[in-house]
Structure 1
């Protein structure tokens, strides 16, 4: 049923997106059309990556899902950078971090926990990810804020570029550690659980769907960015709220859906890998990559967030670590994560 709705949304949304941009339809209408089209396209990307990942195991499956899910947000952010909307880009990065940890993680734990009393996942992976979360958010994002207080713009940019290179290198090392040198070393009983599944699509079809969906998302995203300013003025939304809530939810729609479905199937290793792995990829790869790409544009991006953004990300990290470090979860822990997300959402709306 959901897949049929997504198909209809794509068939109707892409022509409407083209017509609306050519005929200059009202920004508010086109904003809704673009968002719904991107969410539907993200659904197809999620199904394609799930098909490719079924035979690859939870770690690689979660990585694939997070990577192609974050591709949507990366595309939106690049066009936002080009348009000089650096505040929206930083806000969308913040929204991805708190959205993946609190919204995606919370919904996964809640919906999975309503079906199963207890759900377990690999505790060794959880502890490994905890260290990376503390490093990527608290060390790499808080330190630039503190040091930049005594730096001019040029030094702040140089510092951000240096941090970005280190983050990308460490992220690549982390992948090499988990997928090559220590693959299978930290096994958990949940790694052996699960039944054999057949992929929905073959490798060729899944790859073709991914390619076409990514091209379509790139086109629609470019048009979406041009509606932000007028929509914000019309609805009274700040640049911060658009980035943190709207762009983050639309950009991460694919992994949102996939993680929840995996939790409902009691495949918590994949669900947690999507939620936490996607956060790590945003913080250690997407954010620093955007800093480096911004050097090609007139307005350069630095890793200096606002205080509300930093406090929200740090809070989300500590809450997630406390609830996941035991490798066990339930519906109430999911509700706790969701409550934290809604409190932050209200705060950013009122700012």
Structure 2
């Protein structure tokens, strides 16, 4: 624990942890100050993400980058899950679907592209496990196809029966969850040797495994608490700033909700551990598409005012499909440079600008 406190004192970014009790206090004292709570929650989530990154890297040092990436993706996606559950209970299905689509696109493009850029600025050429990356990209493509089917078929064939679309969404949700579980068994069980990380030097600045696991648990709880405040304030604050619910869900919620994963992926890339970065980026996108999205469909029967389907607006359909195809092509070579990251980030910027200027109809 002394080592952890020393890292906090030596890292200026972690000094922002002081905003965690501040935002919790302001939420109790002035719950109606949505814009202020929105800004404070963002300032609190960023250092929590950095601390989560440190703990995850320490765990990955012992478990390997494949398992470490899975741990980080799971804990990092907890923020998106809390945000989506809050919106789901309130019946804000447009925000839920925007956050699902946005998380898939943000992880597959922004996180992957920024990792390539930041790692490439320090290292001339970086290598990563092509087998593992292609496996994750394939899963993402299959999951994206399943998410797109209700929207594409319903639009192309002019299916207007909401009961039929909901029934299809329910069956696809069960199928996707089963595929996700089998994928974990394949990559971490029967064929784990194919997903071994590239050799890298051991780092002396990692935390002991016990301290790292305790830190993961505590930070995860704090992230969930701060995320709840963020959700309660983000829509009102977004309206005050002139942002549409689709842009808020697709861009703002995805960027803030994925802060923990971004910190881990970017730090790993700078340390020439691109295997971990790619595993976090694609693993998180796959987990959203194969697990989080389908689970939200199932939970809508329990906590939502009505069942939620997997039908998205046409723009989200196009963006998710392009993101999945881009991830598959970019990771096929097993190496990257900084300019490749620039190209990926340009695609993400195109999506963001388009959604800001041409928001979908309500």
Q: CA deviation at 1:6?
A: 4.3
Q: Does residue 279 of the first structure (1) align with residue 285 of the second (2)?
A: yes
Distance 1:172 1:29, change over 3 A: same
Q: Say whether residues 1:7 and 2:3 are aligned partners.
A: no
| Secondary structure at 2:207 match in 1 | coil
Residues 116-155 of structure 1: CA distance to partner in whole angstroms, max 9, x if unpaired?
Answer: 2211111212222232122011x21111112334152222
Equivalent residue number for residue 224 of structure 1: 230
- What is the aligned partner in structure 1 of residue 117 from structure 2? 110
Which of 263, 267, 279 aligns to 1:261? It is: 267
Q: Distance in 2 between matches of 1:111 and 1:42?
A: 18
Q: Is the 8 A contact 2:93 2:308 kept in 1?
A: yes
**Distance across 2 between alignment mates of 1:291 and 1:234:** 30
Is the alpha carbon distance of 1:318 and 1:15 closer, same or farther for their aligned partners in structure 2, counting shifts above 3 Å?
A: same
Provide the rounded CA distance (Å) in 1 between the counterparts of 2:122 and 2:16.
30
Distance in 2 of aligned mates of 1:174 and 1:17: 38
What are the equivalent positions in structure 2 for 1:174-185 lying under 5 Å apart? 174-185=183-194
The equivalences for 1:163-202 within 5 A come to 163-185=172-194, 191-198=197-204, 200-202=206-208
What residue in structure 1 maps to residue 250 of structure 2?
244
TM-superposed CA distance for 1:281, in Å, is 0.7
1:198 Cα shift?
4.3
Q: Residue 23 of structure 1 corresponds to which residue in structure 2?
A: 30
- Flag the 1:80–1:4 CA change in 2: closer, same or farther, 3 A: farther
Q: CA deviation at 1:25?
A: 4.7
TM-score, with length taken from structure 1:
0.93
CA apart distance, 1:55: 0.9
| Cα distance in structure 2, aligned partners of 1:43 and 1:314 | 30
For the 8 Å contact 2:198–2:275, the answer to whether it is kept is no
1:40-74 deviation line (CA, Å, top 9, x unaligned): 22222222222222111111111111111111111
Question: Which residue matches 2:4?
Answer: none
Partner of 1:156: 165
Segments of structure 1 that go 5 or more residues without pairing to the other structure are: none
Give TM-score scaled by structure 2 length.
Answer: 0.90
Match of 2:306 in 1: 299
Paired with 1:67 and 1:258, the residues of 2 have a C-alpha distance of 13
1:150–1:218 Cα change, 3 Å: same
Gaps of 5+ in 2: 1-6
Cα 1:145–1:194, aligned 2, differ >3 Å: closer, same or farther? same
Aligned residues: 347
Question: Residue 92 of structure 1 contacts residue 243 of structure 1 at CA under 8 Å; is this kept in 2?
Answer: yes
SS at match of 1:54: helix
Once residues 199 and 292 of structure 1 are traced to their aligned partners in structure 2, the CA distance between those partners, rounded to angstroms, is 42
Whether 1:289 and 2:295 are equivalent positions in the alignment is: yes
- Residues 1:23 and 1:50: Cα distance change in structure 2 (over 3 Å): same
Deviation at 1:9, TM superposition (A): 2.3
Question: Superposition pairs for residues 65-214 of structure 1, below 5 Å?
Answer: 65-137=72-144, 139-148=145-154, 149-185=158-194, 191-198=197-204, 200-214=206-220
Question: Residue in 2 aligned with 1:34?
Answer: 41
Contact map agreement 1:54 1:198 (CA 8 A) in 2: no
CA drift at 1:13: 3.0
